[in-house]
């Protein structure tokens, strides 16, 4: 549906720009195109959230949901301080698709350093890390808008994909 909306917008723009004597796109045309795009995005989002909830139910994971749609379950509690924005943390993680396909991994022997709130990483990762304490292990499900979005990552994660992060917050750096 989303692709149809984009196609409609592209068609309207290209038709409006082909010849000068043709009708220009009116404000009403733009409003209709925007409304169609919003309608398509809402439908896609509702479908994605239902897929995530069905996945969680099938796995029987006791997950909680944040206001942004991030689902999480801290399954192993650490004993350290809570991670905060503006802190550097070392994490080990596995990123996979809902079908179980492993996409990326950082091991405890080769962890990733993340500067919370600043690094160019998925929006959901900044939110997820601030729910964790040093030593915690947690599973997160990022809906596509918190993960790799409309485009995916041009590699292993397709467009509009929900992803599972299994994260171990190894250390909050001084």
Note the pLDDT tens digit of each residue in 30-79: 888 889 888 888 888 899 999 999 999 999 999 999 999 999 999 999 99
User: So what's the pLDDT on residue 120?
Assistant: 92
The model's confidence at residue 6, banded by pLDDT at 50, 70 and 90, is low
Which contiguous run of DSSP H or E holds residue 37?
helix 27-59
Query: If you classify domain 64-172 with CATH, what class do you get?
Result: alpha beta
DSSP letters of 69-98? Answer: S-EEEEEE--SSPBP-TT-EEEEEEEEEET
Alpha carbon distance 5, 25 (integer Å): 16
SS3 172: strand
Domain spans of the chain, in order of start? 2-59, 64-172
pTM for this predicted structure: 0.81
Note the pLDDT tens digit of each residue in 90-100: 999 999 999 99
Chain centre to alpha carbon of residue 133: 21
DSSP letters of 94-123? Answer: EEEETT--EEEEE-TTSPEEEETTTSSS-H
């Amino acid at each position: 549906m989303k692709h149809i909306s984009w196609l409609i917008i592209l068609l309207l723009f290209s038709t409006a720009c082909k010849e000068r004597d043709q009708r220009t796109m009116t404000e009403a045309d733009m409003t209709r195109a925007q409304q169609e795009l919003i309608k398509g995005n809402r439908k896609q989002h509702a479908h994605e959230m239902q897929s995530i909830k069905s996945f969680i139910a099938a796995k029987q994971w006791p997950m909680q949901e944040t206001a942004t749609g991030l689902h999480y379950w801290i399954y192993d509690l650490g004993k350290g301080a809570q991670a905060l924005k503006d802190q550097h943390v070392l994490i080990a993680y596995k990123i996979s698709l809902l079908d179980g396909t492993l996409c990326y991994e950082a091991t405890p022997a080769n962890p990733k350093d993340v500067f919370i709130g600043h690094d160019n990483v998925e929006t959901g990762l900044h939110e997820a890390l601030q729910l964790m304490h040093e030593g915690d292990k947690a599973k997160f499900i990022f809906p596509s808008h918190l993960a790799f979005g409309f485009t995916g990552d041009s590699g292993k994660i397709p467009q509009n994909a929900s992803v599972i992060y299994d994260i171990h917050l190894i250390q909050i750096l001084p």
